[in-house]
Amino acid sequence: MIFKKIRKGHINWQDFLCSIPARDYVFQKDAYEDQIDRTAEYIRNADCVIIGVGAGASTAAGIQYGGKRFTDNFAEFIKKYGEHYMTDMYAAGFYPYPSEEAKWGYWSKHALMNRFDPPALPLYTELYDIVKNKEYFVLTTNVDHQFYKAGFDGKRIFATQGDYGKIQCQKACHPKTYDAEELFHKMDEARKDCLIPSELVPKCPVCGGNMAMNLRCDNYFVEDEAWHEAADRYADFLEQNKDKKVVLLELGVGFNTPIIIRFPFEKMVRENSSYSLIRLNMDEAVVPESFGKRAIGIGSDMAKAITDIRGLVL
């Protein structure tokens, strides 16, 4: 219902954002083994599992945006644009590239490294094992396609923030996205001194203007037909399961965009006594104390935790 409400503008934001007082958050002191045992039990007994996943999960899975993975692969970009700005792939994505040739020179490499080249990573395939025999739905702010690669049903995934594999009109003049895999490979082969040749710069087929990555980073993000269908399927899934025993399994969702997964998940637990929340988060595994046993906050190595949960659920 949440996304339908957002689309129709009916949401009461004050209510939505303020439903959990900050003072209610606690780091649980339970032993790790107990938390994993209880998590597995909740999942085994659940009618359905809703998986909510943010950037922290892909970092834990191995797609690190900084460190050696960045400095090794983007050395010429760091040299050209300066290490003060080029600190990691997140910062590099926001660099004000001086031309379309420079912009696509960077983004084609970023997309190949984070979306097209990596295989399905173990954290995601193990996560799939955990839910594959259950009713499930995935809500994610990640744009790296890992859920699709790991075998999750595409009809049960709602990736709200876009896809590194797609491009759109920069001014969103029409609500369509375009598959860019082939184009990015061509750019990658032709790139020289961090720039792609002008003839490979994509132009909007409708207005003739510049194109952009299909990522929610400004008000011009295109929510295409597939996006709306996924939003509706998610809303329907929530509606169909609203009175059932539901486990909300949240991985690596921080406070960058908490209104998409983190806060709505907490709101659902607050409003439904048959819901429980499993929160895996390296630094921010705080959970509302008032949820009591219905919340489990696991702050240790996420990849290990998923392996351990899988071992008990299967």
- Tell whether residue 206 is a contact of Zn ion (CB under 5 A): yes
Residue 194 is assigned to a ligand binding site: no
217-223 contacts at long range (C-beta below 8 A, 24 or more positions apart) = 217/94, 220/168, 220/169, 220/170, 220/171, 220/172, 221/161, 221/162, 221/168, 221/172, 222/168, 222/169, 222/172, 222/175, 222/176, 222/177, 223/175
Query: What gap in Å lies between CA 260 and CA 291, rounded to an integer?
Result: 20
- Tell whether residue 295 is a contact of Zn ion (CB under 5 A): no
E strand or H helix that includes residue 100 = helix 100-111
Residue 119 burial (C-beta neighbours within 10 Å; 0-12, 13-18, 19+): exposed
Binding Zn ion by CB under 5 A: which of 17, 18, 75, 207? 207
Binding Zn ion by CB under 5 A: which of 195, 204, 246, 285? 204
- Tell whether residue 159 is a contact of Zn ion (CB under 5 A): no
Q: Which is nearer to Zn ion, 160 or 168 (CB)?
A: 168
**Strand partners of residue 262:** none
In angstroms, give the least distance from the CB of 216 to Zn ion: 17
- Tell whether residue 55 is a contact of Zn ion (CB under 5 A): no
In angstroms, give the least distance from the CB of 96 to Zn ion: 21
- Tell whether residue 167 is a contact of Zn ion (CB under 5 A): no
- Tell whether residue 20 is a contact of Zn ion (CB under 5 A): no
CB 266 within 8 A of CB 277: yes
Which of the ranges 46-54, 118-126, 200-208, 274-282 carries the binding residues for Zn ion, by CB under 5 A? 200-208
Pairing of strands 211-215, 157-159: unpaired
In angstroms, give the least distance from the CB of 228 to Zn ion: 19
Number of residues forming the site for Zn ion (CB under 5 A): 6
Residue 204 is assigned to a ligand binding site: yes
Residue 217 is assigned to a ligand binding site: no
Footprint of Zn ion (CB under 5 A): 169, 173, 204, 206-207, 209
